[in-house]
């Protein structure tokens, strides 16, 4: 990056004109330089820069520890929204950049090797109807497979795209067996299903046959037909996904998870349904209807592996809930809400942009229990967590998802009395 490009990017940040990726880049620079910022008393900094430096220190590091319902609330790094605060961050980054270019010094030799874990990347496994598995991060761009008249390809942006072709083409509707041959006559008419799965430390974006977009977070999977036939579009989600659904009033889109089903016509929403965690549905645009399953519900599968129809899905007394933009529905991990009543949602008003910030490269924590923060970190950085001795504190702050795990742990330590370390692939108290 040239000096001109660098200065242009900082100007965009100060004016609030950055894309989410550019914003995350500037803030990741700040995190990288936190321990290396020059002394504001040096010749490179005048009195104004010194005041800015003091302001940055006040607003970006330890700053705020509050008692909240018996828990400590800790403020981590914040994205500076107001123009003045943004200017403070920009000046700090620019000062650091200037000094690094003016004074080239050899990097100090580390006395002790500190273990770290890189941030997650775009990676996933695609399992085709014939059982073939494709590692998408290793696959070359271009056509990956053809099933049921649908072309499956990886585009130049690393996204998985399904394109419906001409079903009249020779072999276009002939599913293959795992051995590569044609399936028996009785199985040819069954719908072909694919599954895309992300590991810990992975995420992936997919365009379904109807052009709907799904962005899977880490440790998640989506099962779907390679072609939406019939009167509905039906998929099954495990983990977390952000959905942008193509409108089709004649063919509603339904998302099934372990505890609920979501019916939409065309909308943008996020669903998080990890094992042993609350199921949350956040609506950004449009309208959805959510119906809960009974606490004894187990996902009903047909012999062919298809997703069961709505009529076959066991659920509670049939109550449904309409979610409006800016609302979030929360169903506890046990299938009960915070009042202990089975099958009912706690619906709250939220900023949907915060719930879907992960897809734009940000962690956003709003009064989030430290243990819940660590669960998110474990999935994204592909590590385990020793939850013993983790205190009951809440975290408040925003972080780019592209910084290393060590930087995140350093920020938690700098902002609280909780010191964590990475030993092997496990986060634990020091």
Domain positions in the chain are 1-102+361-430, 117-180+190-229, 250-360
- Of residues 61, 48, 53, the one with CA closest to residue 37: 53
The residue written with tokens 């044609």 in the block is: 182
State yes or no: pLDDT of 416 exceeds 80: no
- Coil/strand/helix, residue 4: helix
Can 1-102+361-430 and 250-360 be said to share one CATH topology?
no
- Of residues 223, 9, 243, the one with CA closest to residue 129: 223
What does the pLDDT read at residue 115? 77
The DSSP output letter for 35 is T
Residues 355-383: tens digit of each pLDDT: 999 999 999 999 899 999 999 999 999 99
**Concatenated DSSP letters of 319-338:** -EEEE-TTEEEEE-TTSB-T
State yes or no: pLDDT of 302 exceeds 50: no
Rounded to whole angstroms, the Cα distance separating 78 from 11 reads 19
What does the pLDDT read at residue 74? 56
Rounded to whole angstroms, the Cα distance separating 73 from 373 reads 13
Burial string for 190-205 (b: 16+ CB within 10 Å, else e) reads bbbbbbbbbbebbbbb
Q: What's the fold here for domain 1-102+361-430? A: Phage tail protein beta-alpha-beta fold (3.55.50)
Averaged pLDDT, 257-268:
90
Rounded to whole angstroms, the Cα distance separating 87 from 384 reads 38
> Is the domain covering 250-360 a CATH 2.60.120.1440 domain?
yes
Averaged pLDDT, 229-253:
95
Q: What stretches of 269-312 show up as alpha helix (H) in DSSP?
A: none
First-to-last C-alpha distance (Å) of the chain: 38
Mean pLDDT estimate for the chain: 75
Q: Is the separation of the CB atoms in 381 and 201 below 8 Å?
A: yes
pTM flag (> 0.95)? no
**Concatenated DSSP letters of 154-217:** E-TTS-EEEEE--TTSTTTT--B-TTSSBPPGGGTTSPPEEEEEE-TTEEEEEE-TTS-EEEE-
Q: Is the separation of the CB atoms in 238 and 221 below 8 Å?
A: yes
The residue written with tokens 């449009």 in the block is: 286
- pLDDT-wise least confident of 31-35, 232-236, 264-268: 31-35
Q: Is the separation of the CB atoms in 326 and 349 below 8 Å?
A: yes
- What residues does 349 pair with on adjacent strands? 327
Averaged pLDDT, 412-429:
87
What does the pLDDT read at residue 27? 64
State yes or no: pLDDT of 261 exceeds 60: yes
Q: Is the separation of the CB atoms in 174 and 188 below 8 Å?
A: yes
């Amino acid at each position: 990056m040239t000096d001109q490009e660098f200065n242009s990017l900082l100007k965009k940040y100060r004016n609030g004109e950055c894309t989410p990726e550019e914003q995350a880049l500037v803030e990741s620079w700040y995190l990288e330089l936190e321990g290396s910022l020059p002394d504001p008393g040096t010749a490179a900094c005048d009195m104004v820069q010194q005041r800015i430096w003091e302001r940055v220190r006040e607003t970006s590091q330890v700053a705020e520890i509050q008692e909240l319902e018996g828990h400590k609330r800790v403020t981590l790094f914040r994205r500076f929204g107001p123009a003045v605060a943004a200017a403070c961050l920009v000046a700090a980054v620019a000062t650091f950049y200037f000094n690094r270019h003016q004074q080239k010094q050899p990097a100090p030799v580390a006395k002790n090797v500190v273990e770290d874990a890189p941030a997650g990347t775009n990676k996933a496994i695609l399992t085709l109807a014939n059982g073939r598995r494709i590692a998408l991060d290793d696959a070359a761009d271009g056509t990956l497979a053809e099933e049921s008249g649908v072309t499956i390809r990886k585009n130049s942006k690393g996204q998985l795209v399904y394109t419906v072709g001409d079903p009249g083409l020779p072999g276009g509707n002939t599913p293959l067996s795992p051995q590569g041959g044609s399936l028996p006559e009785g199985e040819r008419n069954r719908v072909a299903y694919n599954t895309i799965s992300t590991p810990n430390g992975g995420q992936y974006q997919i365009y379904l046959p109807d052009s709907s977009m799904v962005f899977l977070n880490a440790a998640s999977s989506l099962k779907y037909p390679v072609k939406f036939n019939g009167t509905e579009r039906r998929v099954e989600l495990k983990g977390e996904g952000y959905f942008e659904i193509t409108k089709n009033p004649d063919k509603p889109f339904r998302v099934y998870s372990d505890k609920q089903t979501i019916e939409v016509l065309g909308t943008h929403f996020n669903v998080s349904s990890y094992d042993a965690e609350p199921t949350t549905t956040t609506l950004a645009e449009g309208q959805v209807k959510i119906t809960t399953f009974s606490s004894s519900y187990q996902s009903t599968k047909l012999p062919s592996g298809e997703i069961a129809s709505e009529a076959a899905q066991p659920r509670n007394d049939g109550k449904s809930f309409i979610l409006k933009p800016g609302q979030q529905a929360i169903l506890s991990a046990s299938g009960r809400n915070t009042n202990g009543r089975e099958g009912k949602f706690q619906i709250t008003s939220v900023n949907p942009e915060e719930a879907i910030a992960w897809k734009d490269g940000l962690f956003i924590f709003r009064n989030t229990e430290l243990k819940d923060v660590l669960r998110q970190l474990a999935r994204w950085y592909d590590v385990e967590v020793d939850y013993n001795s983790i205190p009951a504190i809440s975290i408040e702050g925003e972080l780019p998802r592209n910084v290393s795990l060590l930087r995140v742990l350093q920020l938690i330590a700098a902002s609280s009395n909780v010191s964590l370390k990475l030993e092997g692939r496990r986060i634990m108290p020091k």
